[in-house]
Chains A and B, each alone.
Chain A
Amino acid sequence: MMAPEEVEEVEEEEDPLSFLTPEQLQAYVDQYKKELALDRTKTSEGCKVVMEYILENMPIDPFIIGINSKNNPYIEKKDCALL
């Protein structure tokens, strides 16, 4: 793998690839080729999995359902006085 040399970015618009050596550029090219070859799914599928997980787990999420003072160790319990 390439050495982690600092790339000095003078301005936002400048191409970050301008200051690399040939070896580093080759590593970039290889990395892009690898990432291109990745087997991607559609965005809708990825979002669907996220949505399904969330909707399935909302009933057990303490911040969604709220916790009453009995189960939440951080909420001060109210004292009951037995008369």
Chain B
Amino acid sequence: MANPKAGSQSTSIAELRKEADQLRIKLNEDRKNLDDAKLFEMGAKPDIVNYQARCRRILKGHSSKVLDLDWSLDKRRIVSSSQDGKVLVWDCFAASKEQLISLPTTWVNACAFAPSGCSIACGGLDNKCCVFPVNACSYSNSGSNVAGSATIRPSGAVGPSDVCSGSIMQQRKVVAMHTSYISACSFTHSDYQILTASGDGSCALWDVESSQLLQSFHGHQSDVMDAALNPMETGNLFISGGCDKRACVWDMRTAKCVQSFQTHKSDINSVRWFPTGEAFATGSDDATIRMYDLRADREIACYEKKSILFGINSVDFSVSGRIIFGAYNDYLVHVWDTIKGTKINSLLGHENRVSCLKMSPDGTAFCSGSWDTTLRVWA
């Protein structure tokens, strides 16, 4: 006798698929109906941007591919993580290394500086995100030293501390555990919460003190490659991009996906907010950078060129948002005019894929990291 349940289940699947398809078509139509302007047409009037950035510092120290970097809010320290399992804290002005942390696993995909500059978070193929204290961290709180740590190093002093991995591993705190690799991590507006994105398809919010999972965000159909918190102090949203080609906007309080965009043709590797917190840019393996606006609920710009065929690993805006910098697999940093949609120029320097790129907190420089094992500071 035929299984009646299977029969009814297959019709309900078919009905649901039809409904989902119809809703998706309606959604695209609704978005299109309000599409009454093109950003690049509006951007035709302002003057052309001319400034050419140059490589001002080369930070050498990693023995393998640099995978991620983050600036400290003091605008002078950078933390970088690499395939070689090492996390380095640099003083950019002096181009010197301040601290070295050797992790037991290789492929540290993500690293981040805490807002206070007193700790860093990192994670990767070990499926964990750990927090480590930073040695010289008394920049925000003047005078007070963290108990047991070294005093502030005068600039120019060379010599990484904590080379003995034993002592630093005792100070580490395992905060996040996923079931697959960590692709991105960042502190929220305080030192006490961390947002992680993982290859297991989810993002999660963790409490640093207790290592507890506060909220988890499910919805991506594949690995999540990047997540970014809204820069507004009161912002409760964050964006994520993944290998399912979708960029999602999440509400942290309700753990729900508020909006999602699927116009990329391949994996999204990087998501970055526009300074207003109401738009964001994504970089993808399909060689395009796209900008989405939250209020218009659609893609408002696509930065592409026929001659550019290589994927983008990281994007960031200049302070005003007029310039978008993209870290590409063709070893170059391509620089785009946000409102005209044209390429301003391309920065040559790295000798392999540019894997990560971030603007400094005050916008005076940006740093790029590459598979050629170096980081470069451009200004």
A residues with CB within 8 A of B: 1-4, 6-7, 15-18, 22, 25-26, 28-29, 31-36, 38, 40-51, 53-58, 60-67, 72-75
B34 contacts chain A at the CB level, 8 A cutoff = yes
Q: A55 — which chain B residues lie within 8 A by C-beta?
A: 46
- Excluding A1-B218, A51-B42, A57-B321, 12 further A-B contacts by CB distance (< 8 Å) are A4-B200, A17-B17, A35-B259, A35-B297, A36-B27, A40-B34, A43-B293, A47-B39, A49-B279, A53-B276, A61-B320, A62-B379
Q: A38 — which chain B residues lie within 8 A by C-beta?
A: 258-259, 297
Q: A50 — which chain B residues lie within 8 A by C-beta?
A: 39, 274, 276, 278-279, 291, 293, 300, 321, 338-339
Q: How far is the CA of A47 from the CA of B35 in the complex (A)?
A: 10
Q: Is the CB of B323 within 8 A of A64?
A: yes
Q: How far is the CA of A1 from the CA of B201 in the complex (A)?
A: 13
Query: Known contacts being A35-B260, A38-B297, A61-B318, is A67 close to B379, with CB within 8 Å?
Result: yes
Majority DSSP secondary structure for residues of A touching B: helix
Binds A, one of B158-166, B188-196, B219-227: B219-227
Q: Is the CB of B276 within 8 A of A49?
A: yes
Binds A, one of B8-16, B141-149, B349-357: B8-16
Q: Is the CB of B23 within 8 A of A7?
A: no
Q: 1/0 per residue B267-284: CB within 8 Å of A?
A: 000000011101100000
B77 contacts chain A at the CB level, 8 A cutoff = no
Q: List 14 A-B contacts (CB under 8 A).
A: A7-B244, A38-B259, A41-B296, A44-B42, A47-B300, A49-B295, A50-B279, A50-B291, A51-B39, A51-B339, A63-B318, A64-B318, A66-B51, A75-B56
Q: Is the CB of A26 within 8 A of B16?
A: yes
B235 contacts chain A at the CB level, 8 A cutoff = no
Q: A7 — which chain B residues lie within 8 A by C-beta?
A: 221-222, 244
CB distance from A50 to the nearest CB of B (A): 6
Q: How far is the CA of A41 from the CA of B377 in the complex (A)?
A: 39
Q: B19 — which chain A residues lie within 8 A by C-beta?
A: 29
Interface centre among A34, A40, A51, A60 (most CB of B within 10 A): A40
Q: Is the CB of A40 within 8 A of B296?
A: yes
Q: Is the CB of B27 within 8 A of A54?
A: no
Kindly identify, within residues 205 to 263 of chain B, every residue whose CB is under 8 Å from any CB belonging to chain A: 218-222, 244, 255-260
Closest to B25 in A: A32
B43 contacts chain A at the CB level, 8 A cutoff = yes
B20 contacts chain A at the CB level, 8 A cutoff = yes
Q: Is the CB of A36 within 8 A of B23?
A: yes
CB distance from B53 to the nearest CB of A (A): 7
Q: How far is the CA of A22 from the CA of B9 in the complex (A)?
A: 8
Majority DSSP secondary structure for residues of B touching A: loop
CB distance from A37 to the nearest CB of B (A): 10
Q: How far is the CA of A29 from the CA of B339 in the complex (A)?
A: 35
Q: Is the CB of A60 within 8 A of B17?
A: no
Q: 1/0 per residue B42-53: CB within 8 Å of A?
A: 110010010101
Q: B153 — which chain A residues lie within 8 A by C-beta?
A: none
B60 contacts chain A at the CB level, 8 A cutoff = no
Query: Known contacts being A1-B218, A25-B13, A46-B295, is A40 close to B201, with CB within 8 Å?
Result: no
Q: How far is the CA of A60 from the CA of B12 in the complex (A)?
A: 58
Q: Is the CB of A42 within 8 A of B379?
A: no
Closest to B35 in A: A43
Q: Is the CB of A74 within 8 A of B322?
A: no
Q: 1/0 per residue B19-44: CB within 8 Å of A?
A: 11101101100110011111100110
Q: Is the CB of A53 within 8 A of B56?
A: no
Q: Is the CB of A6 within 8 A of B222?
A: yes
Query: Known contacts being A43-B300, A47-B39, A50-B39, is A36 close to B30, with CB within 8 Å?
Result: yes
Query: Known contacts being A4-B200, A54-B321, A64-B49, is A46 close to B300, with CB within 8 Å?
Result: yes
Q: B338 — which chain A residues lie within 8 A by C-beta?
A: 50, 54
Q: How far is the CA of A15 from the CA of B321 in the complex (A)?
A: 36
CB distance from B378 to the nearest CB of A (A): 8
B319 contacts chain A at the CB level, 8 A cutoff = yes
Query: Known contacts being A22-B9, A50-B293, A63-B323, is A42 close to B363, with CB within 8 Å?
Result: no
Q: Is the CB of B319 within 8 A of A62?
A: yes
Q: Is the CB of A63 within 8 A of B12?
A: no
CB distance from A7 to the nearest CB of B (A): 4
